[in-house]
Amino acid sequence: MSYHFTVSPDFPPERLSGWFIFNTWMQRQISEGIHLEMYDSFDKQRAAIAADQVDLIYANPYDASMLVREKGFVAVARPRGRSDEAIIAVRADSPVQCVEDLAPGSRVVSTGNPDVDMMGMIMLEAADLHAGNTLRVNADTFVLVARKLLKGDADAGIFLAEAFDGLTALTRKDLRIIVRSEISVVQHMLMIGPKFRHRQADLAAVLVAAQDDPKAQSVTEGLGFAGWDTVAQDDVEFMIDLIDTLAFQPDS
């Protein structure tokens, strides 16, 4: 039997090969057939989840509620020392100095990453801005979010903090952060579905032990992670409850 693995589409493109290497390593470690399927949009990935075509997923925090409460997934592990934070930035020469300087009708560019957009829109609430009184501009990647800001196609951009910090020094020099979130408990995590759940403990053990093997650790570092930590179910439920609370935002 082969199980199906996928990765939230918001991973950095340069890590694509790292996920395929990780999948090969993982199969060898637990002696299971695992097929890695990448989706180029959140909608396509959610359709596959809805059709029960996903058994293992490196999931974004926003989808955790659906995975746990509707599909019976549980957490296996999370990257060590990482959390999802959002940044709102403008061009360096923009007159906007803080969120409150943004007015209704402002053009906000983002990738559509669900948890990052959610955090970004929460921060915009300080200026009484919401989905109903802003103009949304779409970009496929955070690099393109920066490009649209620099070209003047948007007034503000919502970034994953890690992605903003990974922009070139020249690009960051031409942009200016006006606010950065500090939630700290919102995280991506590896989650396993009901058909594959009998291997949860085995998989968690090999991920955590990877730090003790230089070759295995190089696989982990290929994903941009320092290591893996196990996740208590109470921590998962807390994160889900927090996201559900944050996500409830009226449009007016």
**Each residue of 38-72: pLDDT tens digit?**
998 888 999 999 999 999 999 998 888 899 999 99
Q: What length is written for the chain?
A: 252
Q: How far apart are CA 249 and CA 252, in angstroms?
A: 9
pLDDT on residue 251:
46
Q: What is the pLDDT of residues 176-214, one digit of tens each?
A: 999 999 887 889 999 999 999 999 999 999 999 999 999
pLDDT at 114 exceeding the cut of 90: no
Tokens of 208: 């955590």
Q: What is the pLDDT of residues 216-230, one digit of tens each?
A: 999 999 999 999 999
Task: Report the run of H or E that residue 162 belongs to, with start and end.
Answer: helix 161-165
pLDDT on residue 83:
86
Phi, psi angles (nearest 5°) of residue 141: -140, 165
- Asked if domains 2-82+185-247 and 86-180 share a fold, the reply is yes
Q: What is the pLDDT of residues 91-110, one digit of tens each?
A: 999 999 999 999 999 999 99
pLDDT on residue 252:
42
pLDDT on residue 247:
67
152 Rama sector, left if φ>0, alpha if ψ -120 to 50, beta otherwise:
left
Fold of domain 86-180 = D-Maltodextrin-Binding Protein; domain 2 (3.40.190)
Opening angle at CA 136, ends 133 and 142, nearest 5: 140
Residue matched to tokens 């779409």: 138
pLDDT at 122 exceeding the cut of 60: yes
Give the SS3 label for residue 251: coil
pLDDT band at 248 (very low <50, low <70, confident <90, very high): low
Give the SS3 label for residue 137: strand
Taking alpha carbons only, the member of 74, 77, 102 closest to residue 88 is: 102
Opening angle at CA 251, ends 250 and 252, nearest 5: 95
pLDDT on residue 74:
96
Burial class from Cβ neighbours inside 10 Å (0-12, 13-18, 19+) for residue 179 reads: middle
pLDDT band at 9 (very low <50, low <70, confident <90, very high): confident
pLDDT on residue 154:
97
Tokens of 239: 């994160």
pLDDT band at 82 (very low <50, low <70, confident <90, very high): confident
Query: Region 63-88: what's the mean pLDDT?
Result: 92
Fold of domain 2-82+185-247 = D-Maltodextrin-Binding Protein; domain 2 (3.40.190)
Pairing of strands 228-230, 86-91: unpaired
| Domain range annotation of the chain | 2-82+185-247, 86-180
Residue matched to tokens 């948890």: 115
